[in-house]
Structure 1
C-alpha cells in the first residue's frame, strides 16, 4: 500500500504520544474476533493485520496491497495481479501460488454467507507466473476490485497476515503497530520509527465511548449508528468533531416470520405503505438523509430502475387508506386485533425511531410493540453497510439460502443468471428484474440509507468520510515524514 497519500498534515503533534486511541462502539471482545463473521471492530483489525490483494484507503478508494499493480482485460472478465516481492511472516516466499491458495481458503470459508454469494462471481483463479495471478470472472463486474478489498479476504498463512500492522499482546485493549515498509517489500522510508504511531483499539458501549471522548481519553470514536446518534449531539462537542458518512446500504425492517398478519405480500406491503419516510428521522435533524422505498439503493452505476420509487402516483393518505382497508379485512376475518412486535437495538435513537414507527403503524390500525432484548419479534431492524456499489449485494442479503423467513425464489434465479451475463448491461437488466420480484414478494421494508457517525479530535489525520463507512486503522498511524 502506498504511504504517500497517508502522510497527512495535522498529525505531527501526536507522534510523541506513541499511540492513537480508538474506540469502536460495540462489545469489548469485538476487536479480538478470529472467525469470518466479523463485527465492525473485527473487520478493522483483520484488514490492518491481514491485507488482501487490494485494500481500501481512508477515502474509500481501492489501492494496492499484496498486489502492487493490476490490469483488466478489455472484456472485463480477467484481472491480472502482480504480486509484490515480499515474504510471509514465517519467511516463506509470498508468491502467486501461495497467494492463490490463501485466497481460495478465504473464499471457501465464506460459503453460506452473503459475501460468499457475492464471490460466486469468480470463475477461476490461476497462477500465470511466479508473481502473476489471474482471477477470471463468470461475467463482467465493474465493482470487482471493491468486493476484493473486503477485510474477510485478507490473506493469511498459518493464521498470520502480512500487515500493514502487527498485533501486540493486550487484554481489554488491542495495540497494533505499523510494520516498516522494507519488511513488506516496499521502499524504505527515512525516519519511519519516529513518524509512526501505534493504534490502541477497544470495543466500548456508545455512552461510555462518548463520555471518554468528551473527557479527552480518546481521539477517535467509530461505528456510531442510528441507535446512538443522539448521544453524539449532546454535550460540549464542537461541530467539527462529529463526522457523518453519506453511506450506501440497507436500513429498514426485515420480517422474522410469515404467519398471521404477515402471511401475505399484500399485508406486508400495507405496512410499508404506512410509513412516512421523509418524517421518519425528522427528530434526528439529519441534513442530506434521503429516504427510499427501494431495496437497492437508488442511483448506483448501471441502475435500471432509476425512476423506480414505489407508489409515486399515490399520496401518503391514499396509501394509508388502502393499507387500512387491507388490515381491517384481516382483523375482521381473523377475529383479533392487528399487533406486531419489533426488535431494535438499545439506544436513544432507537427510542425515537420506535415512536415514529408506532405512530405510522397506528395510522392503519396496527399496534406496534417493542420486543425486549433477546426476545423473538415479528420485525427486526436491518442496519447494514453495502460492501460494493452493485445491486447484487442488496439482493443477496435476501437470498433464500441465507435462511430468510420471507424471500423470493424467482428473484434468486434472476440474480444467479446475472452471474453469467455476457455484458454489464444484461446483468443490470436481470438484477432489475430480481428487484421487481422481491418487491412483489415484499421481502423488506426499506427506509433509506444507514446512518454512520464518528467523533474525531482536531489534529488527527488519516480519517476521511466515505460512502462505505470504512475507516481503516493504518492511515491513522502515519504521521508526516520529513
Structure 2
C-alpha cells in the first residue's frame, strides 16, 4: 500500500503522542529504508541501520552531527610511534550489565568485532590493525602495521561498537513498535549511564524520537503532512519527488558527499568481455550533461575511482582535454568493430540492475540515450536479477584512497575486479614510508582503471528533509546524521 493508507495507523499514533516540531512530544524521524534494514542486527547494515546502531551502541569514539570525531567509551587518546599506536583511556563507568569498564573487556570486545567483520569491505579497511592490547586499568592500545591518517574515523563506524554481555553501550534505548516492525522509539539513558554526572533535570533537555522506515513516497507525504520532522536517507531514486515546490513546510538539505556513484561490470562476457569495449562505454558518457538533467547544484562528475582530493599528486581526470565528440567517435568505431567481428552483426544489448524509482528511471534514460549514439542498447532489470552492470552508490567511510579501492577487492565477489590492484593495496599496508604507500595505492588505482571494471559517473547524491526549527542536523561529506543530537533540546 502507498501513502496515506499505509500510514494511517502510524500517523494517528504519532499525532496522539504529540509528535512534531517543538519540545512537547517525540520528534518524528522517517528513514527511506525498510523496517528489516533499519533495525537489523549483525554487521551488514544499511545506512539507516548504521544510524540506529550508532544511537544504541558505541565504540571507543563516535561521530557528531558534523561528522567530526568525538569521545565515546574512550574520553581521551594519544597517537604515538609515528601514527602506528593509538592509546585510549576509557571513561569512568561500567558496562550496561554492571561490570567494570576495563581495558581487558574492551580489548576482548574489539577483537571479537574485528573477527566478525572478516569477509566484508569494512573488514578490509581494518587490515592495518595488527594488535589490540589491554594496558593498565582502563587503557587500550591499538597497534597498526602502517600509519593510517583517518583511522579514528574508521574506528567510529557503527559496526565497531563494543559490548559486554550482549547489552548495548550507546546513549539511547530502542523500543520496537508497530505490527510491521518498521517503527521504534528512541529515548535517552540517564546521564550516569552515559558517563555523565547525575542531573535531576536532564529530562527537560531531551526528547524521544519516533522512528519509522518508509519508502520515499510515504516519507515525503509524512513530512508534508507534518507528521515527521526529519526524513533521512534520500538518494537519486527519490530525488524527482523531493522538489522544493510542494515541500514548502520544510527544507531540503543536500550533503556534499564523497564516495562512489557509477556502474560496476557484473558480467564480463560477450561485449563486456573485452576491455576496449568496457572502456568505450566509459569514454562515451558525457557526465556533465548526464548530471545536468537532474538540475542539482554542486553535484560533481568524475571519471576516476579515487577522487582527485585523495589521489596522488599530479593526478588528473581521465581523458582530460579531449572533446566528448572525439571520445564518442572512438567508442563508436570500437563498437562497430566488435559488431562486425565477434558480434556477428548483432547490436550489443546490456542489462543494468536498477530499482524502479523515478530518479533511477531518469538516470537510465540518460545513459541509454548516450550509449545509443555509439551503437549500444541498454535495458533495465530489477536488482537481484542477472545483469551485466550494476549501480554502485556508496558514501565513503573515511578519507583515504584505500576505501575506494577496497570496494572492488576480488574477495568481495561484487563483479569484475583486478587481483593485481588488490596486490598493490596489500603492498601499501607494509610500505615503510608515506611516499611508498602513496605510490602503491596510485599503482593500484591505475591497474583497476586499466581493467575498466567500474565506470565512474559522479560523487554520490544524498539528501534529507529537515523542518526549519529542528536542531542537531548538519550537512557533511559523510552524509552522517546521528540521532542523539536530534533528540537534544538546545538551551
**TM-score range normalised by the length of the shorter chain:** over 0.9
The aligned counterpart of 2:362 is 352
2:24 is aligned with 1:16 = yes
Q: 1:326 to 1:153 in 2, by over 3 A?
A: same
**Is the 1:141–1:424 contact (alpha carbons within 8 Å) kept by the matching residues of 2?**
no
Post-superposition offset of 1:28: 2.4
User: Which residues of structure 1 form unaligned runs of 5+?
Assistant: 1-11
Q: Which residue of 2 aligns with 1:4?
A: none
For residue 168 of structure 1, report the CA deviation from its aligned partner.
2.1
8 A contact 2:65–2:472 mirrored in 1: yes
Q: Which residue of 1 aligns with 2:66?
A: 59
Evaluate the alpha carbon distance shift between residue 305 and residue 438 of structure 1 in structure 2; reply closer, same or farther with a 3 A threshold. Answer: farther
1:468 partnered with 2:478: yes
Aligned match of 2:132: 125
Q: Give secondary structure in 2 for the equivalent of 1:91.
A: coil
Q: Which of 416, 426, 445 is 2:426 aligned to?
A: 416
Residue 50 (structure 1) aligns with: 57
Q: What is the distance in 1 between the residues matched to 2:433 and 2:473? A: 36
Q: Distance in 2 between matches of 1:288 and 1:390?
A: 22
Residue 33 (str. 1) matches residue 40 (str. 2) = yes
1:240 Cα offset (Å): 6.2
392-401 or 67-76: bigger deviation: 67-76
- TM-score, scaled relative to structure 1: 0.94
The aligned residue for residue 108 of structure 1 is 115
Relative distance call for 1:182 and 1:414 in structure 2 (3 A) is: same
Distance 1:226 1:239, change over 3 A: farther
1:60-459 map, 5 Å = 60-171=67-178, 172=181, 173-189=183-199, 191-233=201-243, 235-238=245-248, 241-300=251-310, 303-333=311-341, 334-335=343-344, 336-459=346-469
Structure-2 change in CA distance of 1:459 and 1:276 (3 Å)? same
Q: Any gaps of 5 or more consecutive residues in structure 2?
A: 1-19
* TM-score normalised by structure 2 residue count: 0.93
CA spacing shift, 1:348–1:234, aligned 2, 3 Å = farther
Query: Does structure 2 conserve the Cα–Cα contact (< 8 Å) formed by 1:344 and 1:380?
Result: yes
**Which one is further off, 458-467 or 403-412?**
403-412
Shift of residue 31, structure 1, vs aligned partner: 2.0
Check whether the contact 1:36–1:152 (CA below 8 A) recurs between aligned residues: yes
1:331-380 alpha-carbon deviations (Å, 9 max, x no partner): 11121211111111221111111111001111111011111454311111
Q: Describe the SS at the equivalent of 2:232.
A: strand
1:435: how far off?
A: 0.3
Distance 2:264 2:160 in 1: 27
Q: Secondary structure at the match of 2:392?
A: strand
Distance (Å, rounded) in 1 between the aligned partners of 2:250 and 2:222: 17
Alpha-carbon distance in structure 1 between the residues aligned to 2:290 and 2:112? 43
Task: Tell me how far 1:439 sits from its aligned partner.
Answer: 0.8
> What CA RMSD, in Å, does the superposition of the two structures yield over aligned residues?
1.6
Q: Is the 8 A contact 1:82 1:131 kept in 2?
A: yes
Kept in 2: contact 1:339–1:368 (CA 8 A): yes
Q: Distance in 1 between matches of 2:383 and 2:64?
A: 36
Q: Using the TM superposition, name which of 397-406 and 63-72 deviates more.
A: 397-406
Measured in 1, the distance between the counterparts of 2:87 and 2:129 equals: 13
**Cα distance in 2, alignment partners of residues 383 and 98 from structure 1:** 37
Cα drift, residue 75 of structure 1: 0.5
Larger displacement relative to structure 2 (23-32 or 123-132) = 23-32
8 Å Cα contact 2:350/2:379 also seen in 1: yes
1:51-83 CA-to-partner distances (Å, cap 9, x unmatched) read 010000000101000010000015111000000
Per the alignment, residue 3 of structure 1 pairs with none
Is residue 244–residue 251 contact of structure 2 (8 Å, CA) maintained in 1? no
Higher RCO (CA-CA < 8 Å; seq separation 6+): 1
User: CA offsets, 1:378-432, max 9 Å, x none?
Assistant: 1111100100001000000000111133111111011001112223332122111
Q: CA deviation at 1:265?
A: 1.3
Give me the whole-angstrom Cα distance separating, in 1, the residues matched to 2:232 and 2:298.
20
Contact persistence 1:57–1:63 (CA under 8 A): yes
- Taking the aligned partners of 2:486 and 2:424, their CA distance within structure 1 comes to 42
Task: Report the Cα distance in structure 2 between the residues aligned to 1:135 and 1:74, rounded to whole angstroms.
Answer: 11
**Take 1:169 and 1:299, find their aligned partners in 2: how far apart are those partners?**
42
The number of residues matched between the two structures is 468
Whether contact under 8 Å (1:87, 1:184) holds in the other structure is: no
C-alpha offsets along residues 235-260 of structure 1, whole Å, 9 cap, x if unaligned?
42239600000000000001111100
